[in-house]
Amino acid sequence: MKNKIIPLGSLDKVLAFTDDQILISRNEHESIESLQADAKRKIVPMSSVKELFYINPNGYFFIEYDVNGKTKREPVLLQDTTTMESLLESIAEVKNFSKGERTQSAKNGVIINGIIALFVAFLFWTLYGIAVDAQNGGHAEAYGRRKGLKKILIDITEAIGPTGVWVIGALLMLYFVYKIVKSAKPSKGVSYK
């Protein structure tokens, strides 16, 4: 796979690598010579590559490399993910990397899903208060820029009442607790370093 144009399936269009560098471009190229002549290409020097890894074999793989003492990570999505393993093995052969296992921390998934769960809890606590007020004869008014959207949300809340808001809120909270528990398990992947 060395010195060949490899199509990508994301914003970047093509990837190629030589003994000295990995080239990624957002423009279409037919040959490695045209890719090397492209002024807008991204160059990752092969000497700075520290690790190649992926968690999901049908998703992105990552090139981890050093730039001025800082570690950078370049995500790459191949158009044909069945060639990922052979591409990584080819690059690893140039770098004399060996295949291993990589465990990815679950902190980010837990934190993000926890923040979303707290936001959903606050939203439904607020909507529950609006529904209770509506049940007692009050009516909430919407003000501000997105008054129409807020009015629709208030009307739906008043229509389904406090019990309906409570049930929908509880179901959404259960869903996000499930996502937190599911994301708390560390992911295993393949690494070349």
Q: What is the pLDDT of residues 57-70, one digit of tens each?
A: 788 889 999 988 89
| Contact (Cβ atoms closer than 8 angstroms) between residue 192 and residue 100 | yes
Query: All domains of the chain, ordered by start, with CATH?
Result: 6-97 (2.30.29.30), 107-185 (no CATH)
Is pLDDT of 167 > 90? yes
Using pLDDT thresholds of 50, 70 and 90, give the confidence band for residue 146.
Answer: confident
pLDDT of amino acid 164: 94
% of residues, the chain, pLDDT over 70: 100
CB atoms within 10 A of CB 86: 10
pLDDT of amino acid 6: 85
pLDDT of amino acid 182: 84
Average pLDDT, the chain: 87
Is pLDDT of 125 > 90? yes
Mean of pLDDT values over 127-133: 91
pTM: 0.62
- Can you read off the two tokens belonging to residue 170? 């509880």
Specify the residue for token string 């004869």. Answer: 137
Is pLDDT of 104 > 80? no
Mean of pLDDT values over 81-85: 84
Of the two residues 87 and 186, the one the predictor is more confident about is 87
Using pLDDT thresholds of 50, 70 and 90, give the confidence band for residue 32.
Answer: confident
Mean of pLDDT values over 27-33: 84
Helix, strand and coil percent figures for the chain, each rounded to 5: 45, 25, 30
| Dihedrals phi, psi of 117, to nearest 5 degrees | -65, -40
Mean of pLDDT values over 100-110: 81
Using pLDDT thresholds of 50, 70 and 90, give the confidence band for residue 27.
Answer: confident
pLDDT of amino acid 119: 94
Handedness of CA 27, 31, 35, 38 (dihedral sign): negative
Q: CA triplet 123, 133, 117: central angle to 5 degrees?
A: 15
pLDDT of amino acid 60: 87
